[in-house]
Structure 1
Amino acid sequence: MEFREEFLDSLLSNEILTPSISLTTYIPESIPVSEKSSKALFYLQGYGDLNVNAPYYYEIENLNSYLILYTLEGKGIISYRGRTYLLTAGSLIFIDCHLKYSIKIHDCNSWHFHHVFFNGGASKYYYNLYIHDNSIMISLNDYSPIPNIFDNLKHNHFANTIFDELRNSRTLTDLLSEILFEKNHKRKEKENIPSYILDIKRQFENNYNEFYSLDALALKYNKSKYRISREFISYLELSPINYLINCRMNAAKNLLWTTDYTINEISSLIGIDNTSHFIRLFKKTMGVTPLNYRRQRP
């Protein structure tokens, strides 16, 4: 049975679907998976990058799937396990769709979100780790790598071959791992992060176009470069270089959509002198080249 059919069969009532809204607005695009991969790998069941308008509402239960929903703009509401959550821009939820839940748009004109339905692999294990504190929602920080993973999925979620299925499984592993890292980071933010780590973080975020090296940072803060790297990873879940790369890629995305600078100019503006290296980094992060990303701007 295709995932779309499973989704429809799990709806508590067809009457809750607003007649004026196409079913494709509710039902995610189904992603086929081979029997062998479904038994061994994480696999995508459905994906959607949706812009919805009021009214928008559905209620569902006993769907054999897990859902990650990330809000880009607007507001939505989810009711799940006896609690109601307001989903705002930058928020992410992770739920088990076997349990009853309902989703609707908030009192606003529109709601833009990604939703990813998946299963297989260690899905249940990741879910149980995620809800150990009984909360299904996190708010992503400005330089989280998670939005880039969603962008990657948007451009590369088809599954026509075993290698496509392997790629999707790897992407889901990255997504789930980063979500757990992000949640753990939120917990650690409540602890006392060393001031020099916060200072390096701010430098990367505000001056990502400058040149940095661990040796220079070690000299500046009178710490060994190994300690800086170790503590940066411990508190921020990413190495210094990967955090800096995320800052640069986010800046590049903004420049690609809001300016007419050439790819060479953007590479230089974000602090990468080698344009070919920039293109490789961008494609690795986003799943598409900078030029193709620019072509998709609104």
Structure 2
Amino acid sequence: MSNQPLYRAFCERFPKLPVFAEPWFLDAVCEGGRWDAAIVRNGEQMVGAMPYFLKHKGPFRYLTMPHFTKHLGPCLLPEFSALKFEHKFYTELACQLPKVHAIHQDLHPDVANWLPFYWLGYRQTTRYTYHICLSEGLDKVQEGFNRNIRRNLRKAEQELQVHHALGPEQFYDINRQSFVRQGIAIPYSKALFLRHDAALAAHQRRQIFCATDGQGNIHSAAYLIWDARASYYHLSGDAPAGRLSGAGILLVWEAIRFTHKVLGLPVFDFEGSMMPQVEAIRRQFGARQVPYSRVWKYNSRLFQLLDQAKRR
């Protein structure tokens, strides 16, 4: 029997639930499988949950991360955040996950304690996202920019305009160009992206930014989402003209300003990246590294061999 109704009830009581763990978010992005959640109680009270995404491939069943989803739990109510509760409830949550051939899950950055997963035979690697703290204001943020970012930002501000009128279908086309330029297929369909966008728009959790020149040519586009904790630089894309105009830098700055001035949030999250050339740009904005855990476990040697061959 599905725990979705219980999870939806739990989420209504959870303070500052990450957007990636919202039931409506998972409803939209879990294509090709189904999502559910493990639930733990302290007496009669629901105190923690761990959503997951179950897929099938041939004879294999496995848990993996849905598209567009940066991390998935586990979530404990704040009054149960002590280490003794983490050990107890993380273990119970992990033991409730369905019997599958493999599990891959990215944990929320707040989850520093992956020891209960280790005790259950999981492996782990540390990944990084990058945060900019906005609590001291935008002037302080700009002080953290390096010379190249400042110079390119000034140039872009003089030559480009920023708009919020770009539609999701147009955004997808710009986003796709970045993948085409690298010679790789975009990993999500337009239909899936539009379903994702519709859910975010319906809950007033996204803003699309677009940079154009004086002739109306689109140089770059960016897609910002948010929850009660932070905004997330979720997706972006550059047209060929935008590669040299500084449009991408301008849109990052506009998204930071929007986060501070309109949303009033204390953190701007770049959502990664682990790629060297992208990580270097994050650092040039003065962002700080924030670690999070990727945990995994194989229960089938055959699935492990096939999965690892695919990931090479």
TM-score by length of 2: 0.24
The answer to which structure has the higher strand fraction is 2
TM-score by length of 1: 0.25
The answer to which structure has the higher helix fraction is 1
